[in-house]
């Protein structure tokens, strides 16, 4: 079996007041269920997924305050693989909300004690940080993994460019 495995992650993201829709499960992919206030949805361009090791030693409140790339060294992030075979320490998915939901697939290396950060990015160039979700992930196994229901995205818009270098 491959040393990588797909993980299902569901994110109920509320970028302002209100509640997210019920999470949608579709098997072994990284799923993202997003409900966004209209004013913010007009600015939303993409989601960026980053996974860091030593998750329990990290403070989510700190990681969510601004762009992750300003807080961690790029080589700290794990190399992920998207459904198209693209590999990187940060995977970006264009926002394509359909009825408030969007599914994404990400392979995360087998291991323990991770933190999954999902950043909401603006559609401007360069993109701006709109907010993020921080989620502790106890383990990823080479066999079946239970879905991770991700925390809502905390709106903390900033002027930083959240882009990780390739």
**Tens digits of per-residue pLDDT, 133-164?**
899 999 888 887 777 777 777 777 778 899 88
From the list 115, 87, 83, 85, the residue with the least C-alpha distance to 102 is 83
**Higher pLDDT among residues 43 and 109, named by residue:** 109
Q: Which sequence spans correspond to the domains of the chain?
A: 4-155
What per-residue confidence (pLDDT) applies to 155?
A: 73
What per-residue confidence (pLDDT) applies to 53?
A: 97
Q: How confident is residue 22, by pLDDT bands cut at 50, 70 and 90?
A: very low
CA 155/CA 75 separation, integer angstroms: 26
Q: What is the mean pLDDT of residues 43-60?
A: 93
The answer to whether 119 and 67 have CB atoms below 8 angstroms apart is: yes
Q: How confident is residue 52, by pLDDT bands cut at 50, 70 and 90?
A: very high
What per-residue confidence (pLDDT) applies to 7?
A: 53
From the list 116, 99, 88, the residue with the least C-alpha distance to 7 is 116
pLDDT for residue 67 is more than 80: yes
pLDDT for residue 166 is more than 80: no
pLDDT for residue 31 is more than 50: no
Q: What is the mean pLDDT of residues 79-92?
A: 91
């Amino acid at each position: 079996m491959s040393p990588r495995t797909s993980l299902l992650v569901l994110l109920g993201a509320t970028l302002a007041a209100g509640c997210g829709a019920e999470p949608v499960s579709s098997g072994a992919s990284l799923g993202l269920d997003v409900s966004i206030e209209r004013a913010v949805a007009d600015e939303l361009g993409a989601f960026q997924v980053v996974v860091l090791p030593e998750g329990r030693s990290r403070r989510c409140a700190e990681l969510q305050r601004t762009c992750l790339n300003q807080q961690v060294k790029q080589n700290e992030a794990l190399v992920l693989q998207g459904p198209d075979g693209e590999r990187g320490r940060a995977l970006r998915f264009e926002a394509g909300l359909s009825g408030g939901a969007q599914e994404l697939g990400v392979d995360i290396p087998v291991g323990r004690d991770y933190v999954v950060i999902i950043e909401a990015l603006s559609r401007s160039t360069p993109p701006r940080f709109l907010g993020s979700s921080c989620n502790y992930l106890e383990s990823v196994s080479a066999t079946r993994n239970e879905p991770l229901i991700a925390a809502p995205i905390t709106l903390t818009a900033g002027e930083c460019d959240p882009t990780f270098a390739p």
